Amino acid sequence: MQDLISILDLAKEEVLEIFEKTDALLRGKIRLRLDGKIVSLAFFEPSTRTALSFESAALSMGGRVLGFTSEESISVAKGENLADTVRMLDNYSDCIVIRHKFDGAAKFASEIAQKPVINAGDGKHEHPTQTLIDLYTIKRIFGTPEGLTFGLLGDLRYARTVNSLVRGLKFFRPKKVYLISPPQLRLREEIRNELDYPTEERVDPRDVIGDIDVLYVTRIQKERFPDESEYEKVKESYRVDVRLVEEMRKDSVILHPLPRVTEIDRRIDSYPQAKYFLQASLAVPLRSVLLHEVVGGVEA
Amino acid sequence: MQDLISILDLAKEEVLEIFEKTDALLRGKIRLRLDGKIVSLAFFEPSTRTALSFESAALSMGGRVLGFTSEESISVAKGENLADTVRMLDNYSDCIVIRHKFDGAAKFASEIAQKPVINAGDGKHEHPTQTLIDLYTIKRIFGTPEGLTFGLLGDLRYARTVNSLVRGLKFFRPKKVYLISPPQLRLREEIRNELDYPTEERVDPRDVIGDIDVLYVTRIQKERFPDESEYEKVKESYRVDVRLVEEMRKDSVILHPLPRVTEIDRRIDSYPQAKYFLQASLAVPLRSVLLHEVVGGVEA
Amino acid sequence: MQDLISILDLAKEEVLEIFEKTDALLRGKIRLRLDGKIVSLAFFEPSTRTALSFESAALSMGGRVLGFTSEESISVAKGENLADTVRMLDNYSDCIVIRHKFDGAAKFASEIAQKPVINAGDGKHEHPTQTLIDLYTIKRIFGTPEGLTFGLLGDLRYARTVNSLVRGLKFFRPKKVYLISPPQLRLREEIRNELDYPTEERVDPRDVIGDIDVLYVTRIQKERFPDESEYEKVKESYRVDVRLVEEMRKDSVILHPLPRVTEIDRRIDSYPQAKYFLQASLAVPLRSVLLHEVVGGVEA
Kindly determine whether residue A49 and residue B73, on different chains, have CB atoms separated by under 8 Å: no
Contacts of A89 in chain C (CB under 8 A): 52
Is the four-CA dihedral B162, B164, B165, B167 of positive or negative sign?
positive
- β-bridge pairing B32-33 and B298-299: antiparallel
Contacts of B73 in chain C (CB under 8 A): 73
* Residue (of B77, B80, B137) closest to B112 by Cα position: B80
A160 is in an annotated binding site: yes
Kindly determine whether residue B80 and residue A281, on different chains, have CB atoms separated by under 8 Å: no
* Closest residue in chain B to residue A56, using alpha carbons only: B92
Task: Give tens-digit pLDDT for C48-74.
Answer: 899 999 999 999 999 999 999 877 666
From the centroid of its chain, how far is CA C275?
15
Look over chain C and give the mean of its residue pLDDT values, rounded to a whole number.
Answer: 94
3-class DSSP assignment, residue A47? coil
Amino acid C70: pLDDT: 75
Amino acid B113: pLDDT: 98
**For the domain bounded by B7-126+281-299, which CATH number is listed?**
3.40.50.1370
Contacts of A52 in chain B (CB under 8 A): 40, 66-68, 88-89, 92
Q: Report whether C214 contacts C189 (CB < 8 A).
A: no
CA distance to partner chain C, nearest, from residue B19 (Å): 19
- β-bridge pairing B214-217 and B149-153: parallel
- β-bridge pairing C298-299 and C32-33: antiparallel
Query: Which residues of B does the annotation place in the binding site?
Result: 49-50, 78, 99, 127, 130, 160, 219, 258-259
Kindly determine whether residue A48 and residue B92, on different chains, have CB atoms separated by under 8 Å: no
Among residues of chain A, what percentage have pLDDT more than 70?
97
Residue B113 has what DSSP assignment?
Answer: -
- Per DSSP, chain A holds a count of helices (H) and strands (E) of 11, 11
Interface test with A, best of C41, C56, C73 (most A CBs within 10 A): C56
> Is the pLDDT reported for residue B297 higher than 90?
no
| Gap between the Cα atoms of A83 and C25, Å rounded | 27
Beta-carbon pairs below 8 A across chains A and B = 67
> Is the pLDDT reported for residue C76 higher than 50?
no
* Residue (of B121, B68, B60, B61) closest to B92 by Cα position: B68
Amino acid C74: pLDDT: 62
Amino acid A72: pLDDT: 65
Candidates B40, B66, B76; nearest CB to A46: B76
Confidence grade of residue C223 (pLDDT, cut at 50, 70, 90):
confident
> Are B7-126+281-299 and B128-280 in the same CATH fold?
yes
Q: Report whether B206 contacts B46 (CB < 8 A).
A: no
φ/ψ (deg, to 5) at B122: -125, 110
| Gap between the Cα atoms of B254 and B252, Å rounded | 7
Q: How many CB atoms lie within 10 A of CB C190?
A: 7
Contacts of A217 in chain B (CB under 8 A): none
Q: Which residues of A touch C (CB under 8 A)?
A: 36, 38, 40, 64, 66-68, 73-77, 79-81, 83-85, 87-89, 91-93
Q: Where are the domains of chain B?
A: 7-126+281-299, 128-280
> Is the pLDDT reported for residue B197 higher than 80?
yes
* Closest residue in chain C to residue B59, using alpha carbons only: C64
Contacts of A60 in chain B (CB under 8 A): 36, 38
Query: Which residues of B does the annotation place in the binding site for carbamoyl phosphate?
Result: 49-50, 99, 127, 130, 258-259
Contacts of B87 in chain A (CB under 8 A): 277, 280
Task: Give tens-digit pLDDT for A119-176.
Answer: 999 999 999 999 999 999 999 999 999 999 999 999 999 999 999 999 999 999 999 9
Look over chain B and give the mean of its residue pLDDT values, rounded to a whole number.
Answer: 94
Mean pLDDT value across residues B21-47: 95
Contacts of B258 in chain C (CB under 8 A): 80, 84, 88
CA distance to partner chain A, nearest, from residue C280 (Å): 7
Which has more pLDDT, B37 or C229? B37
Mean pLDDT value across residues B245-251: 97
Residue A264 has what DSSP assignment?
Answer: B
Q: Which residues of C touch B (CB under 8 A)?
A: 36, 38, 40, 64, 66-68, 73-77, 79-81, 84-85, 87-89, 91-93
A260-264, B94-98, C132-136, C265-269: the lowest-pLDDT one: A260-264
Kindly list the distances between the CA atom of residue C92 and the CA atoms of A195, B72, C66, C96, C229, in Å, as whole numbers in the listed order. 55, 25, 9, 10, 49
Amino acid C1: pLDDT: 64
| Gap between the Cα atoms of C122 and C124, Å rounded | 6
Task: Give tens-digit pLDDT for B64-123.
Answer: 999 998 776 665 456 788 999 999 999 999 999 999 999 999 999 999 999 999 999 999
Q: Report whether A66 contacts A120 (CB < 8 A).
A: no
| Gap between the Cα atoms of C263 and C244, Å rounded | 12
Amino acid A76: pLDDT: 46
Kindly list the distances between the CA atom of residue A185 and the CA atoms of A102, A127, A195, A224, C222, in Å, as whole numbers in the listed order. 19, 18, 18, 8, 44
Query: Which residues of B does the annotation place in the binding site for L-aspartate?
Result: 78, 160, 219
Q: How many CB atoms lie within 10 A of CB C151?
A: 24
Task: Give tens-digit pLDDT for A244-263.
Answer: 999 999 999 999 999 998 89
Kindly determine whether residue B88 and residue A52, on different chains, have CB atoms separated by under 8 Å: yes
Contacts of B88 in chain A (CB under 8 A): 48-49, 52, 258, 280
Kindly determine whether residue B87 and residue A280, on different chains, have CB atoms separated by under 8 Å: yes
Fold of C128-280: Rossmann fold (3.40.50)
Fold of C7-126+282-299: Rossmann fold (3.40.50)
Kindly determine whether residue A260 and residue B84, on different chains, have CB atoms separated by under 8 Å: yes
Contacts of C93 in chain B (CB under 8 A): 56
- What is the CATH architecture of A7-127+282-299? 3-Layer(aba) Sandwich (3.40)
| Gap between the Cα atoms of B98 and B37, Å rounded | 17
* Closest residue in chain B to residue C77, using alpha carbons only: B259
Interface test with A, best of B37, B39, B41, B76 (most A CBs within 10 A): B76
Three-class SS string for A150-208?
EEEECCCCCCHHHHHHHHHHHHHCCCEEEEECCHHHCCCHHHHCCCCCCEEEECCHHHC
Q: Report whether C131 contacts C165 (CB < 8 A).
A: yes
